[in-house]
Amino acid sequence: MRLTETPLAGAFIVELEAHADERGFFARSYCRDEFLAHGVAARFDQCSISYNALRGTLRGLHWQADPHGEEKLVRCTAGAIFDVIVDLRPGSPTHRRWFGLELDAENRKALYIPKDFAHGFLSLRDASEVFYMISAVYEPAAARGLRWNDPMLGITWPLAPAVISARDAGFAFLDAAPAAPAADR
């Protein structure tokens, strides 16, 4: 497995190093020691799946407020998504910057997302499925959201959303009042 830091400090792209033979291949998708060697001490307490029936489904941007902050390792296991993270850490040199990456079943890349990052994605194909490893058990009262099309962020989505929940569509902009809870993941 290979970890490559993104332009946002502390967030990593995780790529498999496959060992192939006539059967197919085998690869580690997570290794505590590899993550620790890159300064990531995440311990994952929960795993979740997001199934997105239609191309153009947008979810996010979501995060959990302290003390329930979540680190995530996100991988697309079917279809394809454009995965986006936003650094919300006040003292960070990449504060309020975003990064996007295509994750799909073919490239098998994953994205490690630190605490205090907003996260969202847009499905690029029908029947896209996303697998999350999460460092904290979901706490509905700590759920927060940020508007996916905030002009201050200027996220360049690869296509216009076709499906978005009313809650996600109604989140506040970055400089508005504190974001409402994000009950639907």
**30 assigned to active site:** no
CB 108, CB 13: distance < 8 Å: no
Catalytic residue (one of 19, 68, 112, 132): 132
40: Cβ–Cβ under 8 A, 6 or more apart, which residues? 3, 10, 12, 71, 112, 114
- For residues 105 and 78, the answer to whether their CB atoms sit within 8 Å is yes
Cis, peptide link before residue 67, omega less than 30° from 0? yes
132 an active-site residue? yes
Q: Which of 84, 47, 62, 49 is nearest to 165 (CA)?
A: 62
Alpha carbons within 13 angstroms on the beta-carbon side of residue 45 total: 10
Angstrom distance (rounded) from CA 72 to CA 91: 21
Which of the following is catalytic: 62, 68, 95, 119?
Answer: 62
Which residues are known catalytic residues?
Answer: 62, 132
